[in-house]
Amino acid sequence: MKNKTWKSYHHIFFVFLSFCCLTSCQKKKTHLETTLPRKNYDVIKMANGAMVNARVVSHQEETKDALTTATMPDAYMLGLTLDIALPSPATTMQELCAATPELERALPSLKDMLPKAPKSGERKKSLFYTTLFENKTKMLQRQLAQLGQLPSRESLFDCQTILSLTHHATQSRALLVQAIMNVNADGSDGDRNIPLEKLSSTYQAQTNYRWPKITTRPNPNIAELEEQLTRVENSLKDENLKAEQKITFHQQLLSLQNTLSELKHWSFLIGSADPFIVLPKFMLDKNHDGASLGDYAVILYQGTLYPAIVGDIGPASKIGEASLRICRAIDPQSSATHRPFNTPHVSYFIFLGSAELPFHQPDYAHWSERCHELWKNLGGSDQLAWHEWEKSDQPWPQTNSEKIEGPSLPPAEIS
């Protein structure tokens, strides 16, 4: 459609959107009525690459004047329909290798571990894959009701498959996830001398993988958060605050206090330094053969294997997120606005039940050794390149008056 036509759609008052993909799935309909606040909505930006079909439908009210018609709820109504074709998980060697061509050579045992197709020809259901796209549908419902910007087409179709694998001889178990690769730069650690890269406004100082601090060096985020805490405390002293404002400030106060407490007691992974991947919480479900925080993982991309761990928990409606350290090893240009891959060509193998407790400061050599062992137990080939991680932290500069002693805090249990 020509640019001129698109611009005309942008200025209409009634917009009917029909986002259409391939039609081969069962459609699930949800309905939500709401009144939108008065503001300008950029419909074209909202669509974010989806197909848009817009039209205005009007009819004459022969017996009602403007004053009467204006009181009718449906006299000025915007109807929105988001039509999504939900994909099925890839289950055959042909489909899996279409995403990762080197997969068959990398894991010769994969063919025997794939689920057997029922006689009807229907695909075997994947619980985690189904849950992922159910969560996406719920998220889209919320976004659409407020005319918020929808996820891009690449983000919607970010997953090719999620399969449970078991090696028949060794009984080694793993989850195979084929997905895109998003950038995660979260985390911080006062004990290690590593500069932080806070790439986005959604930066979080903590990761779910954590261990007790071993020195008295403060977390680098503490000073900034204490300043925020002071501002919130001062705001709460304002006697003219409305009730809803007080609730908001109290919530901020509690959140900042909890975060500061954690940063003073724990150390965390660092996205720019440590090789880890992120999984949505629903995949951390042992009752359904799910993964665990700290499980070892191997990433296969273009003939190279990258050892990693499951280091953080992410949103329920997205998958394929790796630490900035991994992303830059694959694509040095990786940043908050540039992900290594927009299509689900990356294969992630998560080795179930492989986490080692209690958690400790990262030991890349040990992580690599364990990942290599688990990869071999799954039947993985030894002929591919194996990426080795090097420490990125530097020794702290010492002065005559400075002496760091540890541990500064009593041992704590990992929650």
Residue 375 sits in a domain whose CATH number is: 2.40.40.20
Question: What percent of the chain has pLDDT above 90?
Answer: 60
**Number of domains present in the structure of the chain:** 3
A 10 A CB-CB count for 282 gives 16
Kindly report, residue by residue over 77-99, the tens digit of the pLDDT. 777 778 888 899 999 999 999 99
Residue 285 and residue 325 in one domain: yes
In this structure, is residue 412 part of a structural domain?
Answer: no
In this structure, is residue 352 part of a structural domain?
Answer: yes
In this structure, is residue 42 part of a structural domain?
Answer: yes
In this structure, is residue 208 part of a structural domain?
Answer: no
What is the band of 118 on the pLDDT scale with cuts at 50, 70, 90?
low
Cβ atoms of residues 167 and 134 within 8 Å: no
Residue 47 and residue 115 in one domain: no
What is the reported pLDDT for 220? 96
Nearest to 333 by CA among 323, 342, 324, 320: 324
Is the pLDDT score of 38 beyond 70? no
Residue 294 and residue 250 in one domain: no
Residue 336 and residue 309 in one domain: yes
Is the pLDDT score of 17 beyond 50? no
Cβ atoms of residues 248 and 203 within 8 Å: no
Residue 168 and residue 276 in one domain: yes
What is the reported pLDDT for 84? 85
Kindly report, residue by residue over 329-350, the tens digit of the pLDDT. 999 999 988 999 889 999 999 9
Is the pLDDT score of 367 beyond 70? yes
What is the band of 282 on the pLDDT scale with cuts at 50, 70, 90?
very high
Residue 289 and residue 177 in one domain: yes
The pLDDT of 99-122, averaged and rounded, is 83
Residue 235 and residue 324 in one domain: no
Residue 121 and residue 105 in one domain: yes
Cα separation of 210 and 357, whole Å? 11
Is the pLDDT score of 6 beyond 70? no
Residue that finishes a domain, picked among 235, 250, 265: 265
What is the band of 62 on the pLDDT scale with cuts at 50, 70, 90?
confident
The model carries a pTM of 0.80
- Supply the range of the domain harboring residue 357: 93-125+158-186+271-386
Place of tokens 């403060």: 218
Cα radius of gyration rounded to whole Å, the chain: 26
Residue 98 and residue 170 in one domain: yes
Cβ atoms of residues 344 and 160 within 8 Å: yes
Comparison of pLDDT for 274 and 117, the residue scoring more: 274
Residue 245 and residue 332 in one domain: no
Residue that finishes a domain, picked among 85, 101, 116: 85
Please give the mean pLDDT across all residues of the chain: 84
Cα separation of 74 and 76, whole Å? 5
In this structure, is residue 198 part of a structural domain?
Answer: no
Residue 363 and residue 346 in one domain: yes
Residue 289 and residue 330 in one domain: yes
In this structure, is residue 52 part of a structural domain?
Answer: yes
